[in-house]
Amino acid sequence: MLTNAEIKRLRSLHEKKFRDMYGEFLVEGEKMVHEALDSEFEVVSVIRENEETMSRISALSTPPPVIAVVRKPRPAALELPRSLCLGLDSVRDPGNMGTILRLADWFGVTAVFASQDSVEIFNPKVVQASMGSVFRVRCVYCNLPEVCRLFRHGDLPVYGTFLGGADIYCQQLSDQGLVIMGNESNGISPEVAAQVSTRLTIPSFAGAAGGPESLNVSTATAVVLSEFRRPR
What pLDDT, on a 0 to 100 scale, did the predictor assign at position 209? 60
CB atoms within 10 A of CB 41: 18
Q: What's the CATH code of the domain at 44? A: 3.30.1330.30
What pLDDT, on a 0 to 100 scale, did the predictor assign at position 77? 77
Q: Do 156 and 182 reside in the same domain of the chain?
A: yes
**Residue-range definition of the domain harbouring residue 54:** 4-71
Q: Do 98 and 41 reside in the same domain of the chain?
A: no
What pLDDT, on a 0 to 100 scale, did the predictor assign at position 80? 85
What pLDDT, on a 0 to 100 scale, did the predictor assign at position 206? 77
What pLDDT, on a 0 to 100 scale, did the predictor assign at position 48? 97
Q: CB of 8 within 8 A of CB of 112? A: no
What pLDDT, on a 0 to 100 scale, did the predictor assign at position 84? 97
What pLDDT, on a 0 to 100 scale, did the predictor assign at position 113? 97
Q: Do 201 and 93 reside in the same domain of the chain?
A: yes
What pLDDT, on a 0 to 100 scale, did the predictor assign at position 1? 85
What pLDDT, on a 0 to 100 scale, did the predictor assign at position 208? 56
- Select from 50, 71, 92 the last residue of a domain: 71
Q: CB of 180 within 8 A of CB of 84? A: no
Give the span between the Cα atoms of 125 and 137, in whole angstroms.
16
What pLDDT, on a 0 to 100 scale, did the predictor assign at position 76? 76
Alpha-carbon dihedral angle through residues 98, 178, 89, 112, given to the nearest 10 degrees: 30
Beta bridge partners of 198: 159
What pLDDT, on a 0 to 100 scale, did the predictor assign at position 207? 64
Instruction: Count Cβ neighbours within 10 Å for each residue of 83-109 and write b for 16 or more, e otherwise.
Output: ebbbbbbbbebbebbbbbbbbbbebeb
How distant is the alpha carbon of residue 34 from its chain centre? 20
Q: How many CA atoms are closer than 13 Å to the CA of 194, on its beta-carbon side?
A: 6
Render pLDDT for 12-29 as a digit per residue (tens, 0 to 9). Answer: 999 999 999 999 999 999
What pLDDT, on a 0 to 100 scale, did the predictor assign at position 232? 74
What pLDDT, on a 0 to 100 scale, did the predictor assign at position 211? 67
- Nearest CA to 69 out of 96, 90, 41 is that of 41
Q: Do 89 and 150 reside in the same domain of the chain?
A: yes
Q: Do 225 and 157 reside in the same domain of the chain?
A: yes
CB contact set of 61 (below 8 Å; sequence gap of 6+): none
Per-residue pLDDT of the chain (232 residues; tens, 9 = 90+): 899 999 999 999 999 999 999 999 999 999 999 999 999 999 999 999 999 999 999 989 899 999 999 999 998 778 888 899 999 999 999 999 999 999 999 999 989 999 999 999 999 999 999 999 999 999 999 999 999 999 999 999 999 999 889 999 999 999 999 999 999 999 999 999 999 999 999 998 876 566 667 789 999 999 999 999 998 7
Q: What's the CATH code of the domain at 210? A: 3.40.1280.10
What pLDDT, on a 0 to 100 scale, did the predictor assign at position 193? 97
Domain-located, residue 76: no
Q: Do 126 and 223 reside in the same domain of the chain?
A: yes
